[in-house]
Structure 1
Amino acid sequence: MAFSGLLQHMGNFGRYQIILLFSIISLTVLLNTHNLVENFSGAIPAHRCYIHLLDNITSESKLPENLTTEDLLRISIPMGVNNEQEQCRRFRQPQWQLLNSSDLAINTTELQTEACLDGWIYDQSIFTSTIVTQERVSDVTRGPAVLLSRLPNGNLRTNPFVVFWEMVSMPQSSATYKVKKMVLQSAMREELTLLKRSSKKIKVMESPIVCKTIFLLYFLRFSAIFFLYGVLTDLKNLGSNMFLSQALLGAVDFPSKCLSFLVIKFLKRRPSIASVLFLGGFCILINIFVPKDMPFIRLGLAMLGKGLMAIYFSISMIYNHELIPTGLRSRAEGGIIFMSGLAGSLSSLALITRQYFEPLPTILYGTAPIMAAICVYFLPETLNLPLPDTIQDVERSFLALISNENNLASHFNRLL
């Protein structure tokens, strides 16, 4: 009796699964809070260079009384793109001639400037203190640390433990206990034999179909996480209120998860995953053409894309198990978690490309899931099919996929 048959015989949702479910939920809530806290602890408020004439208390008494703060900023800070003051440059000397209304045509780009040698002055109207305003180095080690913590784990065989948990609460003298003990021993022997025969690393490497399956699943998860963290770490470009944006992007998961239950139950896996990945990436790409003075539209598109990606994560949890054989499932899941950490680290680094081309990070975040949507159709359909126990089961699924494609091609040729 394979594990799928054992699970059907013993029941697939008992006390052990309920406790495990609530344990994972409680830990996941804390984990997501940790992953997103950098949006606020590492926020970069509006800032400018430190100016002695304005920010040095001892120099204020020496200034003419008719000079305003705007006047001092005008003679001390050059204007950049979009007629806004530079955040990281200042004039080497105060340019008093800029106060004369008749000299508005002066080309400030020809005046000598320098970097902020004395530090910066930050706007504290939203964030009173962040790691940036404290002049600390940003948490650059967080990405590698998360990456190392998500290295692929070993082949932890927890499946027979499901039955063992059900046996703990039973009296050892009961007939049900004895039957389940015999079933458990038989299943464990069969599982060990299965692992020895078909779950060796060399066996996996010799099977191009299994390697292809695992590689595609890695790419799907990488693209989805790259998209997700790209949206969640770029809140300042979605709307004027980061707190509202964060709350709405989190709240959209609730209706998405409810909708995903219906999608999983009634729709096929491949078109469902391909649709949500494609539409999610498309929503983000549309934001490139939405002006920044329309924050509610930009935030609405981001919420739609995030909700669609939440549906993908729900479907992929099942689809991954339906594609990976029992002996490789735990190890493959460890690799998928590793790819999630890699994608989360690279998504933050992708924001650096904005200094070369403003929409480039958004283009990267949007095109990744669209490419993944195309790759989904290189995997077989698994709706209402039993879980694969061996590598041969996975290979048969791909052979059936190739056969169906050939039949469709021949039928199409006959129609022509």
Structure 2
Amino acid sequence: MKFENILEEIDGFGPFQIAIIVLLCAPRIVLPCHFLLNNFIAVVPPHRCDVSALGAGGLFGNLTLEQRLTVSIPAREDGGPKSCEMFAEPRLQLLADGSDGADPPTVRCQSGWVYDNSTFTSTLATEWDLVCDRKSLTQTTSTIFFFGVMIGAVAFGFLCDKYGRKNTLLASYIMAIVFGFASAFANSYVLFAVLRFLTGFGLTGISINSIVLSIEWVDTRHRSFTAVIGSLSWSAGNMLLAGFAFLVNDWRTLIMTVTAPLGLAVLTWWWIPESARWLLAHGKVEKAQFYLDKCAKFNKRQKVSSKLKLESLCNTENQDKSYTYLHLIKTPKMRRLTLLAGIVWYGVASTYYGISFNISGFGLNMYLTHFIYAAIEVPAKLTIYFCINIFGRRKCQSGTLLLTGLCIGINVFVPEGLWHVRAVVAVLGKGLSEASFTTVFLYTTELYPTVVRQNGLGYTNFMSRLGVSVAPLILLLEDVWTLLPQVIICSVAVSSGLVALLLPETLNERLPETIDDVEQPRGNQVSSDLAESPAVFLESKSATDI
């Protein structure tokens, strides 16, 4: 007797399951808005040294602004003023003949900067002068945010398996709302960085809980459909981010705008059920029966007929047992699974965000590029839905990563002058990387057993956020060599794609409930089920279990 048999009785994919997916849409829309928010709030607009002090009086008081800039700031090759330096002394000779025939000494800007606010009224860079020798701090905020996501993955992975999916989901909502809005009112860079860290910490619970709650309530046949359709809310949020950023040009207001939908999520939380799989795995039969009966009523099916059926699913050893991250490496197959899954997640996340953070250099404005990057995810998700059910999870996981690496590699050799070709290849690579991300969420959920599923997702999310945290720093290496970030991201994609081939296939396999389900050969699972409860097994045997 397995949980899938119970789902067959009460409908494993009916209005109840669809309602769960819909209720989790609002919070999942928020995720990309925060995860990729740095693309807009950390933009460094065109800037130059502030030379307003030269107009205080005397000779400079009679000069126009253009003349003051000419004598105070060196010119770039395109004729505009340089961004980060000014002459040590004003060069009045430049007004006479345009050149003083020397290479005059320069110094860093002495009185701050003047920014071009035609596109953005305010960004992190303009708020705290994160330009020139401090420009790396704009990308550092993204790294700090994903460090929070990374630590949150570990914490919520444990808490979800310990205290349940629903309670920790509410905690995630509240944390993300409080720290998300608080970061919009930060009055210093350090405080903002701390609050973004805590926001990322809270958002992680939403990320790992929403997908697991959805999948643990559906039958085997509809797991891939649930994962793919549910993940479309990420794409919707990603496209909305481009629209929000275009309409809201102030970074503080933009943060509040993308955090606001979580208020709706808190209201809908009351209708979200706890995972019956988790309840049964921890011996909470009465609560599990309550939610299963609720599901049956909502799906217009008969209630679960026998409490014995539910009790047969409870492993008495799990009721008082506390599972930790150590259980991910205690046994041979779990240890191998943990190692391989961690490498794949690192590669998937590093590749996806490495592409997503690079929304310039393709001849399009940043809003349009971001929107196209987001829109391509929709056909990518729909395509991967059919592929994972035809070719299996393992081949699709490996194939999407390898093809993503191929696209990145092609752009290494395509000249920048062919921006339209580079843009098409980059968009294709973005779509493939999103297909890879969609697959890995479903794949990992099917690989780990129920008793440590959230611990497993917490660990893999930790590895993925480690990759994401490094991605902005990798992009800074373009100062060393323009193509170096692309070479690194390409190598990571190809390597993780090859590692994915070593994972077991899960297509049409039931979800494992215990660690023993992972350790024992697939062929022995049926005989094990029969030995545990032969009467119940024979009463409810089905083609899925035999």
Query: TM-score normalized by structure 1?
Result: 0.80
Give distance in 2, aligned partners of 1:266 and 1:252: 22
SS in 2 for 1:297: helix
Is the contact between residue 408 and residue 490 of structure 2 (CA under 8 Å) also seen in structure 1? yes
Match of 1:278 in 2: 402
What do the CA deviations read for 1:103-139 (whole angstroms, capped 9, x no partner)? 58x463xx21100121112122322321211226657
* Structure 2 CA distance for partners of 1:6 and 1:166, relative to 1, 3 Å: closer
In structure 2, give the amino acid aligned to 1:338.
F
* Structure 2 CA distance for partners of 1:39 and 1:91, relative to 1, 3 Å: same
Question: How far did residue 72 of structure 1 move?
Answer: 4.6
Question: How far did residue 249 of structure 1 move?
Answer: 0.9
Residue 147 of structure 2 is aligned to residue 144 of structure 1: yes
1:114 to 107, 113, 116: 107
1:88 to 76, 84, 89: 84
Match of 1:45 in 2: 45
Match of 2:265 in 1: none
Question: How far did residue 371 of structure 1 move?
Answer: 1.1
CA RMSD of superposed structures (Å): 3.5
Residue 385 of structure 2 is aligned to residue 261 of structure 1: yes
Give distance in 2, aligned partners of 1:59 and 1:282: 62
SS in 1 for 2:467: helix
Match of 1:409 in 2: none
SS in 2 for 1:347: helix
Is the contact between residue 351 and residue 492 of structure 2 (CA under 8 Å) also seen in structure 1? yes
Residue 420 of structure 2 is aligned to residue 296 of structure 1: yes
For these two proteins, the number of residue pairs brought into alignment is: 389
* Structure 2 CA distance for partners of 1:268 and 1:324, relative to 1, 3 Å: same
What do the CA deviations read for 1:182-205 (whole angstroms, capped 9, x no partner)? 322332x23x44677996766643
* Structure 2 CA distance for partners of 1:304 and 1:26, relative to 1, 3 Å: same
Match of 2:214 in 1: none
SS in 1 for 2:305: helix
Is the contact between residue 60 and residue 68 of structure 2 (CA under 8 Å) also seen in structure 1? no
> What is the identity percentage for the equivalent residue pairs of Structure 1 and Structure 2?
27
Match of 2:446 in 1: 322
Question: How far did residue 263 of structure 1 move?
Answer: 0.6
In structure 1, give the amino acid aligned to 2:20.
L
Match of 2:507 in 1: 383
What do the CA deviations read for 1:21-45 (whole angstroms, capped 9, x no partner)? 1122221112211222322221101
SS in 1 for 2:107: strand
What do the CA deviations read for 1:129-159 (whole angstroms, capped 9, x no partner)? 2121122665735333333333233325624
1:184 to 310, 319, 326: 310
Unmatched 5+ stretches in structure 1: 401-416
Moved more, 43-52 or 72-81: 72-81
For the pair shown, the structure with the greater C-alpha radius of gyration is: 1
Query: TM-score normalized by structure 2?
Result: 0.63
Moved more, 94-103 or 326-335: 94-103
1:16-415 matched pairs, under 5 angstroms: 16-52=16-52, 56=55, 62-63=61-62, 69=66, 72-79=68-75, 85-99=81-95, 103=99, 106=101, 108=103, 111-135=104-128, 138=138, 140=141, 141-151=144-154, 152-154=157-159, 155-156=161-162, 158-160=275-277, 164-168=290-294, 176-177=302-303, 179-187=305-313, 189-190=314-315, 192-193=316-317, 204-396=328-520
* Structure 2 CA distance for partners of 1:383 and 1:309, relative to 1, 3 Å: same
SS in 2 for 1:179: coil
* Structure 2 CA distance for partners of 1:175 and 1:299, relative to 1, 3 Å: closer
What do the CA deviations read for 1:227-261 (whole angstroms, capped 9, x no partner)? 22222222233444011111111111111111111
Give distance in 2, aligned partners of 1:14 and 1:46: 54
What do the CA deviations read for 1:351-395 (whole angstroms, capped 9, x no partner)? 332332322222232222111001112222333333334434434
Moved more, 204-213 or 238-247: 204-213
